[in-house]
Amino acid sequence: MRLLALSLLALALAGSAAASEAKPTAAELESELVCPVCETTLDTSDAPVARRMKAFIRARIAAGDTKSEIKAQLVDQFGTAVLAVPPRKGFDLVAWLLPLAGLGLGVVVVGTLAWRWSHSREEPGVEEELDPALAQRLDDELERFE
pLDDT in tens, the chain (146 residues): 655 455 555 555 544 445 567 788 989 999 999 998 888 998 998 899 999 999 999 999 999 999 989 999 999 998 888 888 877 777 667 777 888 899 999 999 999 999 988 887 766 665 677 788 888 898 999 998 87
Work out the widest C-alpha separation in the chain, in whole angstroms.
104
Shared domain check, 54 and 76: yes
Do 65 and 92 belong together in one domain?
Answer: no
pLDDT at site 14: 46
Distances 123 to 10, 20, 118, 119, 120 between C-alpha atoms, Å: 56, 64, 11, 10, 9
Looking at 62, 85, 108, which one is the last position of a domain?
Answer: 85
55 with 107, same domain: the answer is no
Give me the CATH number covering residue 80. 1.10.8.640
Is there a contact between 61 and 26 (Cβ–Cβ < 8 Å)?
yes
Contact 57, 29 (CB under 8 A): yes
User: Is residue 51 domain-resident?
Assistant: yes
pTM passes above 0.75: no
The verdict on 43 and 59 lying in the same domain is yes
- Structural domain for 71, as ranges: 23-85
Check residue 110 and give its pLDDT: 95
Which pLDDT value is given to residue 48? 92
Contact by Cβ (8 Å): 54, 16: no
Tell whether 106 is covered by a domain: yes
If one counts the domains in the chain, the total is: 2
* Residues 34 and 68 occupy one common structural domain: yes
Query: Is 53 part of a structural domain of the chain?
Result: yes
Residues 105 and 80 in one domain: no
Residue 1, pLDDT score: 62
Backbone angles phi, psi at 83, to 5 degrees: -85, 130
Tell me: do 101 and 69 sit in the same domain: no
Separation CA 22–CA 65 (nearest Å) = 8
The reply to whether 144 falls in a domain is no
> Same structural domain for residues 46 and 28?
yes
DSSP letter (8 states) at residue 90: G
